[in-house]
Structure 1
Amino acid sequence: MHDLTATGTPALANDQICIEVDAFLKEGTLTLTKGGQDLRPIHALVKFVFAHDGPWLADEVTFGGKTSDGKSVELTVDLLNDSFDGPRAGLPDPIWEVVAIAATSAGDIGITYTSP
């Protein structure tokens, strides 16, 4: 065992806590298209944030995968609206489905989240 000590009282620098949840997607089950370029994601990293006075919110999701020509790319999608108090309108349903998959995993560690 390491000889470890700690002093002080931790305090958050701001009133927001962030949890990131990995979701590994079965290849070929999702295609995202942006600017005419297709991305076949195999990984999604969903970031959930919690403000001291509010519920957990899905902040963003970063998809990693390959383009149709085999290049590895990432695509980050902002999930919160411009006032940061709710979901961004107009996002495709499959993106929210990925968030829901990640939220289920987050629930296993005590985070509760309801999809919009």
Structure 2
Amino acid sequence: MHDLTATGDPVLAEDEIRVEVGVFLKEGTLALAKDGQILAPFHALVKFNFSADGPWLADSVKFSGKASDGTSAVLAVDLLNDTFDGARAGLPESIWEVVALVATSAGDIGITYSYTSGG
């Protein structure tokens, strides 16, 4: 057993609040392809950032799974456009569906999320 101690009273830096929420995906329900590589993800981790003017923003998702050659692989997807004021255009609808599933799971911890795909 390890001795663990802690001191201080942590305070959140409200302009820097980020939460990552992960879910496991049922095997075979999603396949992602990028640059000829195919990934069968079994886990999705979405990073949400706090927005003082509205709901939380999902800014990225990281998929973990198996590549077509059987090795472990990760695919990270930026969800916000280059000016960080809206959804990135051209992302597949299934990625937004995963984000919406994760956001639904995150509702239990108080994250509210407004879904508008990048089209």
The TM-score by the shorter chain falls in which range?
0.7 to 0.9
Residue of structure 1 equivalent to 2:72? 72
Deviations 1:50-75 (A, max 9, x none): 13334311110000000111010000
Using structure 1 for the length normalisation, give the TM-score.
0.88
Cα root mean square deviation, aligned: 1.9
CA contact (8 A) 1:46 1:58 kept: yes
Q: Distance in 2 between matches of 1:109 and 1:88?
A: 26
Residue 23 of structure 2 aligns to a residue whose secondary structure is strand
Residue of structure 1 equivalent to 2:11? 10
Residue of structure 1 equivalent to 2:37? 37
1:111 equivalent in alignment to 2:107: no
Deviations 1:6-51 (A, max 9, x none): 35x7351x71311111110001100000001100000000001013
Q: Distance in 2 between matches of 1:6 and 1:35?
A: 48
Q: Distance in 2 between matches of 1:21 and 1:66?
A: 20
Corresponding pairs, count: 113
Residue 17 of structure 2 aligns to a residue whose secondary structure is strand
Q: Distance in 1 between matches of 2:12 and 2:23?
A: 30
Q: Moved runs in structure 1, 4+ residues, more than 2 A?
A: 2-7, 51-55
Q: Which one has a larger percent strand, Structure 1 or Structure 2?
A: 1
Q: Which runs of 5+ in 2 are unaligned?
A: none
Give aligned-pair identity as a percent. Answer: 64
Q: Distance in 1 between matches of 2:111 and 2:27?
A: 27
